[in-house]
Structure 1
Amino acid sequence: MYNKKIEIDETIMKITSDTNPDFLENYVSNERDLLKDYCRNNNEFLESHSPIKFEKGPKIAKIMDDASKIANIGPMGAVAGTFSEITLNQLIEKGSSYSIVNNGGDIAFINKDKDKSVICGIYAGNSNISGKIAFKFKSSKKSYGLCTSSGTVGYSFSYGRADAVSIIAERASIADTLATSIANAVKGPDDSNAVEKGLEKAENYKEHFIGGIIIVNDSIGTIGKPPEIIAIEKGDLDEYYQDTIS
């Protein structure tokens, strides 16, 4: 297995793969430049909190735009998950059957090894549940995205107050926008009511995701058909990822 960390301005990406990922630094840098150039000339793409009219742009911008329209949010809500997705796709094109791309907690992965599981811990701010549970993914021929949005943790904007909304989809770009959109609805007079509002919002998008979880303090709701949720301690996770729990 190869481990690689890519740090380019806001992008902090950790990669574990059975394929040498050294080529990805240039790839990620080039894609960042394409997106930055596009945003400089298309301010609405950069700043809008709702879908925009997209006419022409680089492939990465088109992926983000498509995901934003599914979740009814602005295209920049897909940026982290899209970078994870396209980076994973590069590894798959080179024949990888086991790769994890973690872009600041927004994850894309593939695991075709029947003897391995992928365990992704869930970080949920000040909730007592934070860092104590994880998704356990069995091997599959498909790749997946696992992305998290929060109204209490991190720098991303949210209209809601979820400690974590984690969504699993077949594409990380879509998981990213759906996590944001559902998290925006997590609000209410008490924690359980806020979780219920998120679950109601998730019903609108159930054809686009596999499963997920909503956490507000000690209140939890599950969405769709998530994988097995297990109890963990931080030491149970791959040492390389212990400081970037999703």
Structure 2
Amino acid sequence: MEYMERTYRKLHRQQDLVHFQAVVKETDLDVAVLRTRFNDHLVKWVENLVMEYRCPLEQYIQRHPEFAKTLKPLSPLDGAPAMAVEMAEAAKLAGTGPMAAVAGAFAQYVGKRLLGRSREVIIENGGDIYMRCTKKRKIGIFAGQSPFSNKIALEIPPEQSPLGICTSSGTVGHALSFGTADAVVVLSPSAILADAVATASANMVKDVEDLQKAVDFATSIKGITGALAIKDDKMAVKGQVRIAPL
């Protein structure tokens, strides 16, 4: 599969880390590790990791097709792989279908394994991030045509990581959204939960008056530490969110 550059990825690139792409079917990861921990074999190792998690999930979906189709919470069948179980649990809390958490799930599962090889890790998967840092990091926010887009960043201190930072939008990208938010960003130690909650929160935003409702909903869920919602030139923020110029 030929890799196509995703320009928003420049917003989380770190100069002191090595970034590389790992692409397996629809899973397209941007991976960052310490320069001293990168080697030519790491890309293939990460791709094999993705396959290790994709294959059981694909086989499970063949057995339980509704898991991939429903937009509502769904209990997993007996014998479901661990990733599917975690996705279903997050979806239940958020009120979404399990696949609303799939990008965050792959970012987190691969990221946790990579921590055994690098003490600094950033995994980005379709705008959803799992990271661990040992120094303060800035993660830029892309919010479509909003004037905030590419102008502000989340400032992440090391004590806040490992951390999931997941984004949903009704105006950017191909992911299904029933709202019109330019960006809803949700923070949680679980990227799986953050992904599902970002989807649910973004679905709530039909107009600028809904921004506060979206962040209130997100932060009401146990395990969510912060949320930010943007539409046009308005923004709502709640919880452990530090904003800095990009």
Structure 1 length normalisation: TM-score?
0.85
1:11 maps to amino acid: T
Q: Which runs of 5+ in 2 are unaligned?
A: 1-16
Q: Does 1:84 align with 2:100?
A: no
1:24-58 C-alpha deviation (Å, 9 max, x unpaired): 11010221122112112211100111111212211
Q: Does 1:122 align with 2:137?
A: no
1:80 maps to amino acid: A
Aligned to 1:195: 211
SS in 1 for 2:147: coil
Which one of 29, 32, 40 corresponds to residue 51 of structure 2? 29
Q: Matches of 1:200 and 1:213 in 2, distance apart?
A: 10
1:162-219 C-alpha deviation (Å, 9 max, x unpaired): 110001100100110110111111124xx2x1213313423532x3211121000111
Q: Matches of 1:66 and 1:180 in 2, distance apart?
A: 15
1:71/1:119 CA distance change after superposition, 3 Å? same
1:187 maps to amino acid: K
Aligned to 1:230: 244
Aligned to 1:65: 88
Q: Does 1:221 align with 2:236?
A: yes
Calculate the aligned-residue CA RMSD, in Å.
1.6
Aligned to 2:122: 100
SS in 2 for 1:119: strand
What is the CA distance between 1:130 and its match in structure 2? Answer: 0.5
SS in 2 for 1:140: helix
Summarize the alignment of residues 8-47 of structure 1 with structure 2, pairs less than 5 Å apart.
Answer: 8-18=24-34, 19-20=37-38, 21-22=42-43, 23-47=45-69
2:191 maps to amino acid: A
Q: Matches of 1:223 and 1:29 in 2, distance apart?
A: 37
Deviates more, 1:40-49 or 1:29-38: 29-38
2:67 maps to amino acid: F
2:192 maps to amino acid: S
8 Å CA contact 1:185, 1:201 repeated in 2: no
1:8-31 C-alpha deviation (Å, 9 max, x unpaired): 222111111134443111010221
Aligned to 2:196: 177
SS in 1 for 2:176: coil
1:69 maps to amino acid: K
Structure 2 length normalisation: TM-score?
0.85
8 Å CA contact 1:149, 1:179 repeated in 2: yes
Q: Matches of 1:106 and 1:74 in 2, distance apart?
A: 17
SS in 1 for 2:158: coil
Q: Which runs of 5+ in 1 are unaligned?
A: 233-246
What is the CA distance between 1:96 and its match in structure 2? Answer: 2.7
Q: Matches of 2:29 and 2:190 in 1, distance apart?
A: 17
1:130-188 C-alpha deviation (Å, 9 max, x unpaired): 11100011122741000000111111111111110001100100110110111111124
Deviates more, 1:3-12 or 1:70-79: 3-12
SS in 1 for 2:165: strand
Identity of aligned residues (%): 33
8 Å CA contact 1:187, 1:197 repeated in 2: no
Deviates more, 1:173-182 or 1:47-56: 47-56
